[in-house]
Chains A and B, each alone.
Chain A
Amino acid sequence: MTGGEVLFRTQEVGSLSRAPFLKGSLEEKAFQARYWGIRLGVEGHEELVELIRRGAGTSELLPWASLYGIRFHEAAGLDVVWDGEQRRVEMYEHPLMHVENFEFVGRVKVWDAETYNKAKLVGPPRLKSSAYLEEFLFAKSKATKELKVPVTGPYTLMDWSFDDYFARRYAHLEDPLERRRRSRLDFLYSLIEEVMRPELRALAEAGARRIQVDEPALTSKPEEVRDYVEAFNEMVKGLDVTLTLHVCYSDYSLLLPHVAEMRIHELSIECANRDTTDLGLDARARRGYSILREFGEHDVPFKIAPGVIDVHTDFVEPAELVRDRLLYAAKLLGDPAKVIACNDCGLRTRGWEVAFEKERSLVEGAGLARRASS
């Protein structure tokens, strides 16, 4: 153990699906509000039931959704919690709605029938109002456990957007690759300076002690990882918070070696999705964690939170499977103190019943791993 911290600390990654009382008929909503209120021990939940019966709109119910999200994680027994991003549309659209000069242009395909509402940048990005501060202040006033605030990272915001501003700055260059490289760097640094630093500073000043920067797009252009590491370090300069970088569904070997230079305290990655569900501490059963060997060889200076819960299946991982995944990760990294227990990604894709069982299993499995390591 280091710094008196508990081994295999448990934490969530961010999102939950919408609180069950936000959808369905009035009766259904009231039933769900009472059912989950009792199950999670939410104070004053009868007040919510009354609100629903009076026909309250979504905006009135969102603070309650946020409270239920916090209690959800606390009741499951996690050490570090959040509100399940109950107030956010989704991770891309939510922050950009708070930034000047992004215009949403329409839906584009991501895969199969999945789409997202893509924005274009038409002028210099400027933060209009914080996308995160209000929800953090609310969570801070309610949470009984430590909080970690997830924020969408600048690289992902840039990579998932069209550029109708910086690209024009370099339109005169003949080499298309040089045009792209320069405009993307300007875009990234502009987001960092004008949007991300003010957001992160405001959160830190308001008392946030843990911030998670979500960058699912980070490895999509491997040649840009090195530039990103420099930009990230610039972004977090002077911030006195524990920083987690979350990257998922990616080829993590592309982060190396540059990621070792990042000023982060934790790296959260998805692994359970690539693993088998067999028990065991051998390389075959634990094939989803093989990348940790590379991180171990690079002796990265931060902790790693390998996902031990797959968020894309309703299968509830038994605590013993969670235990084995954590112990194997500790073996590859050479130190159990370097391992944090968490999910592959946000649990937005699962219903609350399954998500709750998964989180309880995470906590129980971490307890088993702790006992096996001590």
Chain B
Amino acid sequence: MRVEAHLSGNLPRGDSVFRVLRRHSRGKAGWEEVRAAAEAETAEWVRLQAELGLRPVTDPMLLWHDHFRPFAENVKGMAVDGLRRWYDNNLFYRAPVVFGRLGLGDPFLERYLFPVALRGLEVKLVIPEPLTFARLSVNSGYTDHAELAMDLAEVTSAEASRLVSRHGLSVSLVQLSAPELARELRADDLELVREEVGLFKRRLGCKVQLHTFFFSAARSLRSLLDTGVDVIGIDLHATPASALKGVDVDRELAVGVVDSRSVVVEEPGWMASLAERAVEATGARAVHVTTNTDLDFLPAGVAREKVRALSACARLLRERWGT
């Protein structure tokens, strides 16, 4: 059994980035100062992942205020609106507003990430899943919601592809963050998800992970297998492993064994057993151990401990399975 370990979203900002962002929001620091602080913390996060054997590594996305912001601020036909609660958390995002046909201008993701820190490493990109993006947007630009979702797939995949080619990144996996696919997946959504997965695969030439979180994936898992996705991500802090019994996952399973919303650092052995139960229940071909969602629900120090525990969990699983 192949075991991989990687992270699944935004990582927490440290004190220096928090401080400079505060100063920037009051007009007391320039954007270059913010970038410099974020670049230093990004390098630390990337170094930690590499040292712990996490692969592929992710950019910590320290300048992403929320999942949608870089796109909402830069894609033509979109803007940002007021604050909305991010599911059931004490965390808020600015609602993306769609007011016209979507399109791309100049490349922009590189302003929110630090590609230079990722050079020479195997990389995972994290992008909002288009249907989730569409549902959480305020739409006055499209009469057909499915068309909006497909145009979001078009602009997000194209921008991700520009980032990769402009900076020569070696991307092996793209994660589409998809809480909506676990919350409510309707029959007519499936074709759309299939198309968006196909688009990302073609554009980026790598594996695609649909990563669900906050909700039990038990209901939608079977359907999601029918989308051509390579890796299915489920939140084991919202999905009882027993609820997966009988679902034949004939591909790779990413299990969110680290709870990014809890300060309790999970025992590696406990997480390994949890992953084993999920694999036994589904017959998955390979397992990726990961965080259930963004670690930026936690202070940076606690998040670092969780990353270490995740790495130890992967080691244990490799020992148990002799891989």
Hey, what's the 0/1 contact readout for A99-115 against B, CB within 8 Å counting as 1? 00000011111111101
Instruction: Name the prevailing secondary structure of the A interface residues.
Output: mixed
Do B18 and A176 touch across chains, with their CB atoms under 8 A apart?
no
Q: B138 in the interface, Cβ–Cβ < 8 Å?
A: no
Say how far A185's CB is from chain B's closest CB, in angstroms. Answer: 16
In whole angstroms, what is the CA distance A280 to B222 when docked?
53
Q: A372 in the interface, Cβ–Cβ < 8 Å?
A: no
Q: Which of chain B's residues have a CB closer than 8 A to the CB of A175?
A: 240, 242
Do A106 and B88 touch across chains, with their CB atoms under 8 A apart?
no
Do B216 and A220 touch across chains, with their CB atoms under 8 A apart?
no
Hey, what's the 0/1 contact readout for B43-85 against A, CB within 8 Å counting as 1? 0000000000000000000000110000000000000000101
Hey, what's the 0/1 contact readout for A191-222 against B, CB within 8 Å counting as 1? 00000000000000000000000000100110
Do A106 and B299 touch across chains, with their CB atoms under 8 A apart?
yes
Do A106 and B236 touch across chains, with their CB atoms under 8 A apart?
no
Q: A174 in the interface, Cβ–Cβ < 8 Å?
A: yes
Q: How many A-B residue pairs have CB under 8 A?
A: 77
Say how far B317's CB is from chain A's closest CB, in angstroms. Answer: 19
Q: A292 in the interface, Cβ–Cβ < 8 Å?
A: no
A132-183 interface with B by 8 A CB criterion: 159-160, 162-164, 167-168, 174-177
Stretch in contact with the other chain, from B19-27, B99-107, B160-168, B188-196: B19-27
Do A113 and B21 touch across chains, with their CB atoms under 8 A apart?
yes
Q: List 10 A-B contacts (CB under 8 A).
A: A107-B299, A108-B12, A108-B298, A111-B66, A111-B93, A160-B90, A163-B262, A176-B236, A176-B240, A177-B238
Q: Which of chain B's residues have a CB closer than 8 A to the CB of A174?
A: 240-242
Hey, what's the 0/1 contact readout for B185-217 against A, CB within 8 Å counting as 1? 000000000000000000000000000000010
B289-316 interface with A by 8 A CB criterion: 296-302
Q: B263 in the interface, Cβ–Cβ < 8 Å?
A: yes
Q: A118 in the interface, Cβ–Cβ < 8 Å?
A: yes
Hey, what's the 0/1 contact readout for A79-119 against B, CB within 8 Å counting as 1? 00000000000000000000000000111111111010010
Q: A120 in the interface, Cβ–Cβ < 8 Å?
A: yes
Chain A interface residues (CB < 8 Å from chain B):
105-113, 115, 118, 120, 159-160, 162-164, 167-168, 174-177, 217, 220-221, 249
Q: B91 in the interface, Cβ–Cβ < 8 Å?
A: yes
Q: Which of chain B's residues have a CB closer than 8 A to the CB of A108?
A: 12, 296-299
Contact of B91 among A110, A120, A164, A177 (CB under 8 A): A110
Do A107 and B15 touch across chains, with their CB atoms under 8 A apart?
yes
In whole angstroms, what is the CA distance A115 to B25 when docked?
12
Q: B89 in the interface, Cβ–Cβ < 8 Å?
A: yes
B220-256 interface with A by 8 A CB criterion: 236-242
In whole angstroms, what is the CA distance A175 to B218 when docked?
13
The 5 A-B residue pairs whose C-beta atoms are closest, nearest first, are A106-B299, A162-B263, A113-B21, A111-B92, A113-B25
In whole angstroms, what is the CA distance A163 to B262 when docked?
7
Contact of A106 among B83, B91, B300 (CB under 8 A): B300
Do B90 and A167 touch across chains, with their CB atoms under 8 A apart?
no
Q: Which of chain A's residues have a CB closer than 8 A to the CB of B263?
A: 105, 120, 162-164
Do A107 and B90 touch across chains, with their CB atoms under 8 A apart?
no
Q: Which of chain A's residues have a CB closer than 8 A to the CB of B13?
A: 109
Do B92 and A110 touch across chains, with their CB atoms under 8 A apart?
yes
Q: B40 in the interface, Cβ–Cβ < 8 Å?
A: no
Say how far B55's CB is from chain A's closest CB, in angstroms. Answer: 27
Q: Which of chain A's residues have a CB closer than 8 A to the CB of B240?
A: 174-177
Say how far A248's CB is from chain B's closest CB, in angstroms. Answer: 12
In the complex, the chain A residue whose C-beta lies closest to that of B241 is A174
